[in-house]
Each structure stands twice: as C-alpha cells, then as structure tokens.
Amino acid sequence: MTKQIWLNLPVKSVAKAKDFFWKIGFSFNEQHDTPSSTCMVVGESHFVVMLFEESLFEGFSQNKITDTKASSEILISIDAESKEEVDELAQKVQDAGGTIFSSPAESQGWMYGFGFADIDGHRWNVLFMDFTKLS
C-alpha cells in the first residue's frame, strides 16, 4: 500500500515561495530541489510539501490552477506548541509578506489560532489546542 503522503502546491516563483516559508520557520530538503521545484519539510514527522512552479504543476494535474484570490481549494492546518508560538508565527507571517485573514484568537474555549494566506494565496490555519479545556 502507500508508504508516504505529501502535498503538492503550485507557486508563481519557487525562489520567492521558499524565501517566504524560510522566513516563517519552515525547513527544506534541498537535495530534492530543481529550478522549478523545492521540497519543504513540515513538523516532527517531516511531512513533505512540494512547491512547484505553476506551469509544471498544471502539467502534473492536467488542470487549471485555482484563482486563490477568488476561491479556496484547501485549508492546510498545522499545530503550535503554545499560544505564544501562534502569536510569534503570526508576526513572522506578517513580516514575511503573508496575509493574515483571521487574527490570533480563542476558539470554542479550547483552541487558539490564526489563519493566513501565503504569498501565492494558499490558506493555512495554525492552532494551539489545549485538550485539558475540551469539554
């Protein structure tokens, strides 16, 4: 069966996208880099997010790319260790040129998070979940 799963995202410029994600704290497995793609590694389990130039991505998917200014196809959620980490990441996203579409806030009494769009408009959700407050 399957051994691994990864996410592929289209970007306008691999170099600019890589710079953005580097600034907010993500790392890369550069041995898999090409001029039109890069391999971003997320979290302790090293989840792979491949960033592909839009034309290459369209070739793989054999479909047009969604206009992220008009609609969303995906919301990528990542966890944080604390409320402070949520706030720090929100500031890094803003400083790196991302767009905060949902400011850091408490939700449902046990979650704290924010939402942002990266420089290509892909939407991300960052959450700290305090399961001790879950009822």
Average pLDDT, the chain: 95
Same domain, 92 and 127: yes
Domain end (from 18, 34, 65): 65
At 73, the pLDDT band (50, 70, 90 cuts) reads: confident
Same domain, 47 and 106: no
Tell me the CA distances in angstroms from 45 to 5, 53, 77, 134, one per residue in order.
Answer: 11, 25, 14, 25
Same domain, 43 and 90: no
Structural domain tally of the chain? 2
Q: Which domain holds residue 29?
A: 1-65
> Residues 34-63: what's their mean pLDDT?
95
Is residue 93's pLDDT more than 90? yes
Give the domain CATH number at 21. Answer: 3.10.180.10
Tally Cβ neighbours within 10 Å of residue 135.
Answer: 6
Same domain, 86 and 54: no
Q: Model pTM?
A: 0.92
φ and ψ of 67, to 5 deg:
-80, 100
Whose tokens are 């600019």? That residue is 16
Is residue 91's pLDDT more than 80? yes
Same domain, 85 and 120: yes
Tell me the CA distances in angstroms from 117 to 21, 29, 111, 134, one per residue in order.
Answer: 12, 23, 20, 28
Same domain, 79 and 134: yes
How far out from the chain centre does Cα 82 lie?
18
